[in-house]
Structure 1
Amino acid sequence: MMHQTILSGTPTALTSRDAHLRLDGLTKRYGDTEAVAALNLDVPKGELVALLGPSGCGKTTTLRMIAGLITPSGGRIVVGRSDITQMPVYRRDMGLVFQSYALFPHMTVARNVAFGLEMRGVSKPEIEQRVREALAMVRLEPLAERRPRELSGGQQQRVALARALVIRPSILLLDEPLSNLDAKLRDEMRNEIRDIQQNLGITAVFVTHDQVEALSMCDKVVVMKGGKLEQVGTPVDVYEHPATPFVASFVGRTNRLEAMGKGDGTAIAGGAVLRIPSRAQGPVEIMMRPHRVRLTDSDGASASGGEGTNRLDGRLSRVTFVGDLLQYHVDVSGTELVVEAASDHGRVFRAVGAPVSLMWRVEDTMVFGRTA
């Protein structure tokens, strides 16, 4: 069954009747600055939701209000049918994984994992059993007697995850837990966290500024900007149907082109008439993903497209090799557009300075209004 997440007051709002975690007008002010502005969000039970956005957008503040580490200036936090807005941290039944891991350096791995159970007065035999289960879950049983300094970054992150899960929380909160890991470890831990979350069926909120983490791990993505929610939806929804130019440019790479909509499904941009999936009239901003654009020779025969294809002519200004991709930078009437193509042993399509054409499908064209 596909769960849904609701965001009130946006054109992309979804409906949910089984929210396990509900944020109702959640607000945090610091003097005259509104770090989080009347945030409304429902998270169904068993769903992993990402709070995604740039630094300062309010995502970590939101997570810390949910955890009870920051007191809201307004609004409510509801879990199930209980309002926990004023409830102290230790009573919230939540597991929190910090960016810095926050392990006790003088304790063994097993003692670090057991700490939360000891504070809750769980019996020693049960603690030992649950610690063994938690360490098995994150594949760290053989390292139970090591100290944090004897572990790699990925192993320390697994300890932090086991410590959060051993208390069997109702909700798991993760605050950019992968940001200190190298690229390969991040890939591994993304898969591990997702697998564990799905196997346990636990509700989880994941804070990140990394769009790859949000798109690859989560059931829903909540994009934030300036303390407000810009859009919420499945990873595919947010990537393929961004609600705003900010979402389009933050979630994935985009080309931006100023245009003038004619009100008949076309727009003028880059010295050409383009077909657009909109009858917008007046100033618009056209966007398209670099990997959805094709680079061709500029002669009419090889650059001709069908009725559902747009074309712009330009001049190749730069080629960047990025391993599995080649990025072609093309100057179109003073605007630089980028085409991404699979790298073929570093061989480039054309030399810098050559005339080329850009082609893409009308259905891959995103259109947003703009102020003239």
Structure 2
Amino acid sequence: MMHQTIRTGSPTVSGDRAVHLQLDGLTKRYGDSVAVAALDLAVPKGELVALLGPSGCGKTTTLRMVAGLIRPSAGRIVVGSQDITAMPPYRRDMGLVFQSYALFPHMTVARNVAFGLEMRSVPRPEIERRVKEALAMVRLEALAERRPRELSGGQQQRVALARALVIRPSILLLDEPLSNLDAKLRDEMRNEIRDIQQSLGITAVFVTHDQVEALSMCDKVVVMRGGKLEQVGTPVDVYEHPATPFVASFVGRTNRLEGQAQGDGRVVIGAMEVRVPGRPGGRVEVMVRPHRMNLVEAVSGGERAAEGTNRLEGRLVRVTFVGDLLQYHVDVGGAEIVVEKASDHGRGFLAVGTPVAVLWRVDDTMVFGRGA
């Protein structure tokens, strides 16, 4: 469910929280090309919001406009009650964590973290105290005198995070900060960033192309495509109730089938027919998550579809072992459907070529008009 923004003067509110960051019609053009198109977004105070989308969708451009690194072509950026659209970056009171970490190789960890405070002419005793607190927050106190080259990727990312937080920014901006880490480190850093953000109660905007990061870390997900917003909502809303076929396919895995809706809850797909929620009409796209499906051998007298369940018969064409999952690829009337099931210690594989039936609940079916 999308939060409703209610204008009450200054500042606005979203749901039951005051809006901390407001983007009104934010636009960036490069000649005839539009990188970000009239983007409206309200970020409540203390929330972590993900800008999620494929490369080139405008998410990093949006973040850099918020940071003041790119000048908007149109629109406003408001923090609290202050319009900061024309304000230079160094006056915006924002901490920025880059994808590349951007640490100074000749400085120690402590000096890297202290740099922003030194530029602000903070007294030396205060700098030392705040640097120590920031390094403790990211568990790097023992590495204060090392150089960046002596650190692992995860440790360098922690230094970059400490450097952004030590200035006590009003807003924390993170530009794909985990993309250079291996899978295990990404999991660890996701949890650490989320824990720190919540403990500080800081408003944060997180750019990512990884839907797992967006769903697992953030209070709200902003899905972008072609410089425009596709959907804004909680992770559960965006995953369970996608507003468009693009959101359904980008956020999570889906099977997609095209067919002709009959207006009575039936959709004809070639020689097959499935039931869908509601009563759509015309050309539609039917989508179902692989893990919401079940697979059985299609033997004579086998399991039949219960009331409220769809059943399509086909032939198993491939089995993929993905550790905790088995992915069964089924040819159904010329279309390929993927069914995901938990693996059982490498046992229970069905053989390629096995006649099978794919079953799923009607209520687990998503349906979109072809123009959606």
Residue in structure 2 matched with residue 34 of structure 1 by the alignment: 34
Question: Hey, what's the Cα distance between the residues in 1 that align with 2:340 and 2:17?
Answer: 42
Residue in structure 1 matched with residue 24 of structure 2 by the alignment: 24
Report matched runs for 1:57-68 at 5 Å: 57-68=57-68
Shift of the 135–221 alpha-carbon distance from structure 1 to 2, 3 Å rule, reads same
C-alpha contact 1:174 1:206 (8 A) present in aligned 2: yes
Shift of the 117–371 alpha-carbon distance from structure 1 to 2, 3 Å rule, reads closer
Stretch of structure 1 that moved more, 196-205 or 305-314: 305-314
Question: Hey, what's the Cα distance between the residues in 1 that align with 2:152 and 2:2?
Answer: 36
- Letter in structure 2 aligned against 1:50: A
Residue in structure 1 matched with residue 50 of structure 2 by the alignment: 50
Question: Hey, what's the Cα distance between the residues in 2 that align with 1:286 and 1:278?
Answer: 12
Q: Deviations over 1:41-87 (max 9, x none)?
A: 00000000000000000000000000000000000000000000000
- Letter in structure 2 aligned against 1:146: R
C-alpha contact 2:53 2:208 (8 A) present in aligned 1: yes
| TM-score scaled by length of structure 1 | 0.95
Report matched runs for 1:212-231 at 5 Å: 212-231=212-231
Q: Deviation of residue 4 (structure 1)?
A: 4.0
Stretch of structure 1 that moved more, 304-313 or 157-166: 304-313
Q: Secondary structure at the match of 1:100?
A: coil
- Letter in structure 1 aligned against 2:77: I
Residue in structure 2 matched with residue 157 of structure 1 by the alignment: 157
Q: Deviation of residue 140 (structure 1)?
A: 0.3
Residue in structure 1 matched with residue 128 of structure 2 by the alignment: 128
Q: Secondary structure at the match of 1:18?
A: strand
Residue in structure 2 matched with residue 11 of structure 1 by the alignment: none
Work out the number of aligned pairs and report it.
Answer: 366
Question: Hey, what's the Cα distance between the residues in 2 that align with 1:88 and 1:80?
Answer: 17
Question: Hey, what's the Cα distance between the residues in 1 that align with 2:246 and 2:301?
Answer: 37
- Letter in structure 2 aligned against 1:260: Q
Shift of the 67–209 alpha-carbon distance from structure 1 to 2, 3 Å rule, reads same
Q: Secondary structure at the match of 2:206?
A: strand
C-alpha contact 1:261 1:268 (8 A) present in aligned 2: yes
C-alpha contact 1:3 1:47 (8 A) present in aligned 2: no
Residue in structure 2 matched with residue 175 of structure 1 by the alignment: 175
Residue in structure 1 matched with residue 366 of structure 2 by the alignment: 366
Q: Report sequence identity in percent.
A: 79
Q: Deviation of residue 349 (structure 1)?
A: 3.9
Q: Deviation of residue 18 (structure 1)?
A: 1.8
Residue in structure 1 matched with residue 196 of structure 2 by the alignment: 196
C-alpha contact 1:16 1:42 (8 A) present in aligned 2: no
Question: Hey, what's the Cα distance between the residues in 2 that align with 1:346 and 1:142?
Answer: 43
Residue in structure 2 matched with residue 86 of structure 1 by the alignment: 86
RMSD between aligned residues: 1.9
Residue in structure 2 matched with residue 10 of structure 1 by the alignment: none
Q: Deviations over 1:335-370 (max 9, x none)?
A: 001001111222344211111000001111000001
Question: Hey, what's the Cα distance between the residues in 1 that align with 2:3 and 2:282?
Answer: 35
Question: Hey, what's the Cα distance between the residues in 2 that align with 1:5 and 1:53?
Answer: 22
- Letter in structure 2 aligned against 1:307: E
- Letter in structure 2 aligned against 1:138: V
Q: Deviation of residue 297 (structure 1)?
A: 1.5
Report matched runs for 1:297-308 at 5 Å: 297-299=297-299, 301-308=301-308
- Letter in structure 1 aligned against 2:155: Q
Residue in structure 2 matched with residue 316 of structure 1 by the alignment: 316
Question: Hey, what's the Cα distance between the residues in 2 that align with 1:73 and 1:271?
Answer: 51
Question: Hey, what's the Cα distance between the residues in 2 that align with 1:369 and 1:145?
Answer: 60
Stretch of structure 1 that moved more, 22-31 or 268-277: 268-277
Residue in structure 2 matched with residue 273 of structure 1 by the alignment: 273
Unaligned runs of 5+ in 1: 8-13
Question: Hey, what's the Cα distance between the residues in 1 that align with 2:5 and 2:353?
Answer: 49
